[in-house]
Structure 1
Amino acid sequence: MNIKTKSFVSWEFLYIIGIIAISFSSIFIRWSTAEVSVVGMYRLYMTNLLMLAAAWKYRKEILSLKPKQWLGLLLSGAMLGLHFLLWMSSLRLTTVASSTVILTLEPILVVFGSFFLFGAKINRFMMAGMGLALIGSIAIGSGDFKLSGTALQGDILSLLGTVAVAAHMLMGKRLLGGMSAFVYNFWVFFIAATMLAGYNLLRGYPFTGYVPEEWGIYLLLALIPTLFGHYLFNWLMKFISASAVSMAVLGEPVVASLLAWLLLKESLTGLQLLAGAAILAGVWIFIRYGKEAPDTAGTEPPSLKESA
């Protein structure tokens, strides 16, 4: 995927697009009846197919990757595959709001990881924004948390998946300092998909025989939450901090819960709507006062004009 942005398209606009895109992931997964590992595998393999048209342009860079970079790609891809397997499985056991709200722990993990790995700084305004967003996220999912049965299992899977995606993002921030976003995304998606394919083989899950509607869901997952979500955020990490990018996950419960209310008929209270406003305000504060402090040596242009 070769994204080019006009001078009037700011990174903030792309950031919002990414939040909306990833929020559709939980809805599409709920619509599917296939095993979640099969859904994740085809989601990522289809993304690779969509990216193949531009792969020839990056052939020299791909051939010149160093062994250390390949090792980093393998680890990052494995963490992404593990995240998809665990988090997508959680959506079969608990509500969309409950599962996505646990993902809001991701920025905390990334902030601490960025501090120790990259020496990233965080000011009191960023802390206040994160705190406000976290409080709102807890309010959104508070009515859905349970301490027994399948809901608890789903929440635990979501938590483990959150740890995996935080590790994936921190590895990605380091790798993206020395390679294009296209090459990074292409190989990380392929590695994660292949990991899921191996898991499906071990479990004996079928690779074929799915109805056309299922294949349509796989394609939607590849197009919307993967290309316009994960790919876009990985690209943005070349310009802004991993901590700022990870804050996008705090907007996901808001949009995902609204979508679940509209499309899945899940309940949504006035408190949750108020909490959603608090989350968006907190994310804005964090980004507004944190964007000038990238956590690596890169710089953030006022408007993104470079291709991915």
Structure 2
Amino acid sequence: MATDLPALAPERVTHRGRGTALIVLASVCFGSSGTIAKPAMLAGLSPEQVAAARIGLAALVLVAAAAVFRPRLLKVRRREWPLLIGYGLLGVAGVQLCYFVAAGRLPVGVAILLEFTSPVLIALWTRLRGTKLPGLMWGGIALAMIGLALVARVWDGLSLDAVGLLAGLGSAVCSAGYFLLGEHGATTGDPLGLVTWGMLVGAIVVCAVAPPWTLPAAVLDAPAELGPWHPPVWALLIAVALFSTVLAYTLGTSALRHLPASVASVVGLLEPLVATATAWALLGESLSWLQVLGAVILLGGAAVVQNVHSRQSAQEQLGVAQASPASAP
């Protein structure tokens, strides 16, 4: 790889509304992955095989698109490799593999709740690094976590498995890494380059766990049930790779150019809400009134965090504006 090229980092122009819209769209794309992929698993593929196909196809699409339209994204300086490898290991491969292990040993609702405790970890990390978060923001995070617990129905078949618990906590750490490393990469370089290389690193790891050549051809051609449609399994894998991976990661990482990780991760809690709603609409899975209540509480918590961040940004901009005349010669 080239080591003598200057950094090609686009100028950062933040826009809170744009960032919020991007992370909401990313949550919709991420949240649809389970609904799209589940029929493929019911047809005979393992979760690891679906993850390998999803990330592997996404990596191929991203690398090919970059090579044709933006080849400069494939040129990486030596000092950029730690960020790209960390993002790929944590934000791509780690989240997928840890979640699948947790879901295999714990109730799915508990596994989801453990993964999406990442906003708390991000808030703690932010606090440890010297940035004080308002008490109201902590309250919004807590409110969103309560809503998430209701949406995930964590009380259904609750059981404790040490390996599953550790894997669930690992998925939370990896999810926090996705937001924190994504924020750093998106604000110092090109988000699409970060996603492309991160996806390639993640694909190498996940495909080592579930090699693509182990995918059974008979299952790939079999019809699956997705609401009123009966697409072949291979079509679902392509859909989850393009919509729920390529588009989701690109939108989510681009949002981190405009929103801090502590805010984006709370808005990202919409993902399990979207997953529950799409599973109810397309797969016929039940949706209780408690889950609806949890959705309202979750959205309320996310709105509180967004509102606090908006006021903080306005105060910071006002402070800069007031300080400028004083500093002028």
Give the match for residue 95 of structure 2.
Answer: 83
In structure 2, relative to structure 1, the CA distance for the partners of 1:216 and 1:154 (3 Å cut) is: farther
Using the TM superposition, give the Cα deviation of residue 99 of structure 1 relative to its aligned residue in structure 2, in angstroms. Answer: 3.0
1:237 is aligned to 2:256: yes
* Contact 1:97–1:257 (8 Å) recurs in 2: no
Give the match for residue 103 of structure 1.
Answer: 115
1:53 is aligned to 2:65: yes
Using the TM superposition, give the Cα deviation of residue 95 of structure 1 relative to its aligned residue in structure 2, in angstroms. Answer: 5.1
- Which one-letter code corresponds to 2:189 in the other structure? M
1:71 is aligned to 2:79: no
* Long gaps (5+) in structure 2: 1-14, 222-231, 314-329
In structure 2, relative to structure 1, the CA distance for the partners of 1:23 and 1:237 (3 Å cut) is: same
Using the TM superposition, give the Cα deviation of residue 154 of structure 1 relative to its aligned residue in structure 2, in angstroms. Answer: 5.3
1:169 is aligned to 2:179: yes
* Contact 1:247–1:283 (8 Å) recurs in 2: yes
Whole-angstrom distance in 1 between the partners of 2:158 and 2:107: 10
Using the TM superposition, give the Cα deviation of residue 41 of structure 1 relative to its aligned residue in structure 2, in angstroms. Answer: 1.9
Using the TM superposition, give the Cα deviation of residue 147 of structure 1 relative to its aligned residue in structure 2, in angstroms. Answer: 1.3
Task: Find the partner of 1:185 among 195, 205, 212.
Answer: 195
Using the TM superposition, give the Cα deviation of residue 98 of structure 1 relative to its aligned residue in structure 2, in angstroms. Answer: 3.5
Give the match for residue 4 of structure 1.
Answer: none
Using the TM superposition, give the Cα deviation of residue 104 of structure 1 relative to its aligned residue in structure 2, in angstroms. Answer: 2.4
* Contact 1:241–1:293 (8 Å) recurs in 2: no
Question: RMSD across aligned C-alpha pairs, in angstroms?
Answer: 2.7
Whole-angstrom distance in 2 between the partners of 1:187 and 1:43: 15
Q: How do residues 153-164 of structure 1 correspond to structure 2 at under 5 angstroms?
A: 157-164=167-174
Whole-angstrom distance in 1 between the partners of 2:238 and 2:253: 20
1:252 is aligned to 2:271: yes
Using the TM superposition, give the Cα deviation of residue 145 of structure 1 relative to its aligned residue in structure 2, in angstroms. Answer: 4.8
* Contact 2:19–2:256 (8 Å) recurs in 1: no
In structure 2, relative to structure 1, the CA distance for the partners of 1:236 and 1:120 (3 Å cut) is: farther
Using the TM superposition, give the Cα deviation of residue 237 of structure 1 relative to its aligned residue in structure 2, in angstroms. Answer: 0.8
* Long gaps (5+) in structure 1: 1-6, 295-308
Identical positions, percent:
20
Number of aligned positions between the proteins? 281
* Contact 1:39–1:218 (8 Å) recurs in 2: yes
TM-score by length of 1: 0.80
Bigger Cα displacement from structure 2, 232-241 vs 83-92: 83-92
In structure 2, relative to structure 1, the CA distance for the partners of 1:91 and 1:177 (3 Å cut) is: same
* Contact 2:20–2:264 (8 Å) recurs in 1: no
Whole-angstrom distance in 1 between the partners of 2:209 and 2:194: 23
1:241-287, Cα deviation, whole Å (9 max, x unpaired): 01111113322222222223333343322122111101011111111
* Contact 2:31–2:272 (8 Å) recurs in 1: yes
Using the TM superposition, give the Cα deviation of residue 235 of structure 1 relative to its aligned residue in structure 2, in angstroms. Answer: 1.0
Bigger Cα Rg = 2
Whole-angstrom distance in 1 between the partners of 2:256 and 2:18: 14
Whole-angstrom distance in 2 between the partners of 1:175 and 1:11: 15
Q: How do residues 1-308 of structure 1 correspond to structure 2 at under 5 angstroms?
A: 10-33=18-41, 34-51=45-62, 52-63=64-75, 65-79=76-90, 80-92=92-104, 96-117=108-129, 119-140=130-151, 141-147=153-159, 157-201=167-211, 206-207=214-215, 209=217, 210-212=219-221, 213-291=232-310
